[in-house]
Amino acid sequence: MNSSTHTPNPFPSGPIKLVIASRESALAMWQARFIQRRLETLYPSTSVEILGMTTTGDQILDIPLAKVGGKGLFVKELESALADGRADLAVHSMKDVPMNLPEGFMLVATGEREDPRDAFVSNDFLSLEDLPAGSVVGTSSLRRQSQLQARLPHLKIESLRGNLQTRLRKLDEGQYAAIILAAAGLIRLGLSNRIRSEISPKQSIPAVGQGALGIEICSHRTDLLTILAPLNHPDTQVCVEAERAMSRALAGSCTVPLGAYAVCEDGQILITGFVASVDGAQMLVETATGSKQEADALGKTLAQKLRAKGADQILALLDHA
C-alpha cells in the first residue's frame, strides 16, 4: 500500500484491555460494537469487551420520559459502571446525553454523524402529508410532537415508548397509522427499508446531537484521552457542541420541546434552533453562524436570539404545566 494514502495510527500502543459500557438494546449494542471494532483496529493487541446493562430508562416504558426524569435515565447506570471501574468508557447516542454531565465525568469524543433527520415510518402511507385527518402518529418526543402539531394540526399524536424493535412492532400491530423515528437508528440496524420518507431538517429540526455517538469517561482517566482521540470527528464534535450549548443555555431536556441542528460549511458553523409549546401553537425558530473555534459561544448566541423572541415566556409556561 502506498504510505501516502494511509495515515499511520499516531498512538500505536494501546492498553491491555478496555471495557465499554452500553445499554443492551439492539441499537445501543450496534453502537458499542462499532466502537469496539474501531478500537480493535487501532490497537490490535488490546482486548476490547462490552459490558451490557439495562438502564432505568429501558425499564420504565409506560410513562413518557418527560414525566420520569428525562434522558439521563439512559446513562446513569453506565456512569456507575465507569465510576466503580467495571468499565473504562461508555458509548451513548448523543441525543440521550444530558446537557450537564455529573461531576467527575466528561465527553471525550464525538463520532461522525449518521443521517440526522427524522424518518416517517408507515405501512400504509408514503409521507406525513398523506395521512388523513385524525390519523394517530406515535412519537416519544415532545420536540417531534410540537413540530408536527404546528405543521399538521389535524393529526393525533400519541406517546410511543420502547426500543426501536418494540416501536416497529406496535406500528405493525396497527396501534398507529405512522410513527416517527430517528433515521440514524434504522440505518445502523439495517432497517432503512422501513423508512417511507425522510423529514427534512427544515420541517422537523432534529434533536440536539441526533445521529452522533458520544464517548464518556471519568474525568480522572486522563490515560484514556490520547487513546480515544482518534474516535473523535472534529466537524461533528463542534456542531454537537454548538447544539448542546444552545440547549444548555435554555435549560433544555426532554421536558422541553426544542431542537437544534448545526452543519459545517466553508469553515463556519451554521446552526438552526427552535423552542415551542407542546401543542405547537407557539413556535420560535432562529439561526446563527460563527467560526468552528467558537462553537460553545455560538450556541449561546442562538439561545439569546430565541430569548429575544420570547423563549423565556414559553419555557416558563412549560415549567408550570
In the prediction, which pLDDT does 12 show? 57
Is a pLDDT exceeding 50 seen at residue 67?
A: no
DSSP 54: -
Q: How far apart are CA 31 and CA 188, in angstroms?
A: 8
In this structure, the number of other CB atoms found within 10 A of the CB of residue 122 comes to 22
pLDDT above 90 coverage of the chain, percent: 78
pLDDT band at 55 (very low <50, low <70, confident <90, very high): low
Taking the domains of the chain in order of start, what are their residue ranges? 3-113+211-232, 118-199, 243-319
What CATH number has the domain spanning 3-113+211-232? 3.40.190.10
In the prediction, which pLDDT does 121 show? 98
- The most confident of the ranges 77-81, 158-162, 239-243 is 239-243
- Where is average pLDDT lowest: 34-38, 49-53, 234-238, 312-316? 312-316
Q: How far apart are CA 124 and CA 241, in angstroms?
A: 38
Q: How far apart are CA 118 and CA 95, in angstroms?
A: 13
Give burial (CB, 10 Å; 0-12/13-18/19+) of 190.
Answer: exposed
- CA-based nearest residue to 296, from 117, 103, 99: 99
Fold exhibited by the domain 243-319: Double Stranded RNA Binding Domain (3.30.160)
Is a pLDDT exceeding 80 seen at residue 321?
A: no
Is a pLDDT exceeding 50 seen at residue 318?
A: yes
What's the CATH architecture for 118-199?
3-Layer(aba) Sandwich (3.40)
Give burial (CB, 10 Å; 0-12/13-18/19+) of 189.
Answer: middle
pLDDT above 70 coverage of the chain, percent: 88
Q: How far apart are CA 143 and CA 186, in angstroms?
A: 19
In the prediction, which pLDDT does 5 show? 42
Pairwise pLDDT comparison (103 vs 66), residue with the higher score: 103
- Contact predicate 66/142, CB 8 Å: yes
pLDDT band at 73 (very low <50, low <70, confident <90, very high): low
Give burial (CB, 10 Å; 0-12/13-18/19+) of 297.
Answer: middle
Element (H, E) at 19: strand 17-23
Pairwise pLDDT comparison (186 vs 317), residue with the higher score: 186
In the prediction, which pLDDT does 252 show? 56
- Contact predicate 255/248, CB 8 Å: no
The pLDDT mean for the chain works out to 89
Q: How far apart are CA 42 and CA 230, in angstroms?
A: 8
pLDDT band at 8 (very low <50, low <70, confident <90, very high): very low
Give mean pLDDT, residues 179-198.
97
In 78-234, DSSP assigns E strands to 89-93, 105-110, 118-121, 136-138, 156-158, 178-182, 197-199, 213-218
Residues in the chain: 321
pLDDT band at 45 (very low <50, low <70, confident <90, very high): very high
In the prediction, which pLDDT does 277 show? 92
Q: How far apart are CA 7 and CA 226, in angstroms?
A: 16
Residue 147 is which amino acid? Q
Q: Looking at the annotation, which residues are catalytic?
A: 96
Domains 3-113+211-232 and 118-199 share a fold: yes
In the prediction, which pLDDT does 4 show? 38
* Whole-structure pTM value: 0.88
Q: How far apart are CA 126 and CA 199, in angstroms?
A: 11
Q: What is the pLDDT of residues 113-168, one digit of tens each?
A: 999 999 999 999 999 999 999 999 999 889 999 999 999 999 999 999 888 999 99
Give mean pLDDT, residues 74-95.
92
Q: How far is CA 269 from CA 152, 243, 305, in A?
A: 30, 10, 16
Task: Name the 3-class secondary structure at 287.
Answer: strand
Angle at 287 between CA 281 and CA 290, to 5 degrees: 160
Is a pLDDT exceeding 90 seen at residue 215?
A: yes
Pairwise pLDDT comparison (52 vs 9), residue with the higher score: 52
- CA-based nearest residue to 255, from 142, 157, 148: 142
In the prediction, which pLDDT does 162 show? 84
Grid cell digits, residue 48:
476490547
- Contact predicate 299/290, CB 8 Å: no
Q: What is the pLDDT of residues 276-296, one digit of tens each?
A: 998 999 999 999 999 999 999
